[in-house]
Structure 1
Amino acid sequence: MTTEEKIPQSRLGSTGPMVGVQGLGAMGMSEFYGDTDEAAARDTLDAALEAGVTLIDTADIYGRGANEEFLAPFVAAHRDEITLATKFAIVRTDEALYRGVRNDPAYIRTAVEDSLRRLGVEVIDLYYMHRRDPDVPLAESVGAMADLVRQGKVKHLGLSEVTGDELREAHAVHPIAALQSEWSLFSRDVEESAVPAAAELGVALVPYSPLGRGFLTGAFTDAFQDLSDGDFRRTQPRFSGDNARSNAALLEPIRSLAAAHGATLAQIALAWVHQRAAVHGLPVVPIPGTRKRERLLENTAATRIVLTDSELDLLEPIAAQVAGSRYSDMSLTSAAREN
């Protein structure tokens, strides 16, 4: 791939590193979306780097550490070419359905050592608090993360699913480079307070699920017919029954724009995220996940699509009409703590 074909770069917020304007979420390479072909997943990682995708995103929860271990050989081979992001906070026991959240400093110190070991690195480029535990003072948690920066174990700090007020509070303790939250044509609650706060502070937005967990690709109408038994989306409200059928009908404006641009629905949805961020004057690096080279290249091509104001207006009403919440349990999201 020539330099001209690679995606452009931008700085990950005012304090962060230079990265490609689109990243790659690696979660599905280990869990949650059914069986994975590891050879195809490794080929996708190579394709990502060739395309200029340099922000690679994982977390210690993905596969209970297996995703970090899966990425380790790729990281070792390309350490100076990529920005490696991982996360702590969500705790899973051997009981697959149990999850808790820990933000206490003792846990953070243990979690970072475990991630460093699994990834085979001496320093993590971007370390996120994956979810917020309101019972632990935010200053304590971010203070412990800042200690990791001073110790040389972490370069930059990030938060996930926090409100605008929480982002401001954390940023006052230590500069926050990136905020990772769900943002797409189907999910826009992040715009209520977090997006304005991020723009004010110079924090980059790293949207996860920018394709609505795949729904915005047009591939699904009914989770129980279209998804494998091991796919967690079968339990998600937007993919279930009448909700799924109603949401599938909302894709028609995206479909018409895709036809007009000679693009896919996914490309229009990703182009919207990039341009919506520009409206707010906000640096943005979406991290759509995929295990397939062809999908990776499809997604990066979205960075070359420009939607007109009238086309953006056509897409504006979609989010307000979506049926079902973005998780079956919204208690760990920023939306649960707004206002």
Structure 2
Amino acid sequence: MNYNQLGKSTIQVSEISFGCMSLGPDHAAGTDLLHRARASGITLFDTADLYDKGANETLVGQAFKGQRQQVVLATKVGNQWRPDGSGWDWNPTKAYILQAVEHSLRRLQTDYIDLYQLHGGTLDDPIDETIEAFERLKEQGKIREYGISSIRPNVIREYVRKSSVASVMMQYSLLDRRPEESCFALLQEHQISVLTRGSYAQGLLVDKPAKPYLNYSEAEVQRAAAVVQQVAAGSHTPAEVAVGFVLQEPAVTSAVLGIRTDQQLDDAIRAATRQPLSAAELAMLRQAIPVNRYEQHR
């Protein structure tokens, strides 16, 4: 397992991370997966207060009770559940963040969060107020670093300009190369880590039947998956190829993979020990389909 520095911080994270959102209600099974992942060298575990109405954080916190120093815990804030449980509303205010962090700390059974992330963001948000909340939590020692989870270039630029974010989580894969045009160079220039999600593009690059995805037609998705299979026919699995494509991007610090089953964890572990893709293999992948770009939030 390779480890990379998170932004300008002293935190080191595994280049393959565990996305906890998909963990089911079976806490015993979930705990076993989390422990196996940690034993394999995965150190960054990403959850959110939104997932399963906080129960996901509770599962992660209980699983790593007594092992806190061995893991990097990342969670998110900004989506506030309604009292009747019918859904959630966006709330990036300072008052809410300072309140919500206490609940996350309690569920995670810890007195600090390694990476606290804003779970979204728009230009209409009170961005200065949001940053003030994160900076206060850093001063208080309740969080070590903060970041945002956003795919919107205009929002990302505002946080790069105004804040000391350590990371930006965004979707990136062979079927979603939009960040290449508008975000990667900026974030790398400012030493801000990119944490990626969606490496498998909902499984379309690995084992799911082709269907339209973003601006790509079913035929284009099928073509991309076929090239992944072609590259994998050498010395890789399709999952290794999909993740390898993501991690070859210099701006990317860690690929956060959603893990729910033993097979998915096995795939993630294999991806961590993969042989790097060759220049020729990367060229085949890049030429598989036209590069897409952001049409909104520019």
TM-score normalised by the chain length of structure 1: 0.79
| 1:66–1:254 Cα change, 3 Å | same
- The unaligned stretches of length 5 or more in structure 1 are 1-6, 31-35, 223-236, 326-333
| Amino-acid identity (%) | 28
Q: Which amino acid aligns with 2:266?
A: L
Alignment pair present for 1:159 and 2:124:
no
User: Conserved in 2, the CA contact under 8 Å of 1:181 and 1:205?
Assistant: yes
Of 246, 251, 256 in structure 1, the residue corresponding to residue 225 of structure 2 is 251
Compute the RMSD of aligned alpha carbons: 2.5
Rounded to whole Å, the distance in 1 between the matches of 2:12 and 2:189 is: 20
Of 283, 286, 290 in structure 2, the residue corresponding to residue 313 of structure 1 is 283
Alignment pair present for 1:24 and 2:30:
no
- 2:106 matched residue in structure 1: 117
Of 211, 223, 243 in structure 2, the residue corresponding to residue 270 of structure 1 is 243
Rounded to whole Å, the distance in 1 between the matches of 2:213 and 2:101 is: 34
Rounded to whole Å, the distance in 1 between the matches of 2:4 and 2:106 is: 29
- 2:296 matched residue in structure 1: 336
TM-score normalised by the chain length of structure 2: 0.89
Larger helix percent: 1
Counterpart secondary structure, 2:70? coil
What is the correspondence of 1:134-173 to structure 2 with a 5 Å cutoff? Answer: 134-164=123-153, 166-173=155-162
- 1:209 matched residue in structure 2: 198
Alignment pair present for 1:102 and 2:91:
yes
1:81-106 residue CA offsets vs partner (Å, 9 max, x unmatched): 0000000112343465x443211111
User: Conserved in 1, the CA contact under 8 Å of 2:81 and 2:89?
Assistant: yes
Q: How many residues align?
A: 295
User: Conserved in 1, the CA contact under 8 Å of 2:175 and 2:224?
Assistant: no
User: Conserved in 2, the CA contact under 8 Å of 1:179 and 1:206?
Assistant: yes
CA offset at residue 181 of structure 1?
Answer: 0.4
Of 269, 291, 294 in structure 2, the residue corresponding to residue 300 of structure 1 is 269
Counterpart secondary structure, 2:124? coil
Q: Which amino acid aligns with 1:256?
A: Q
Rounded to whole Å, the distance in 2 between the matches of 1:164 and 1:133 is: 10
| 1:95–1:72 Cα change, 3 Å | closer
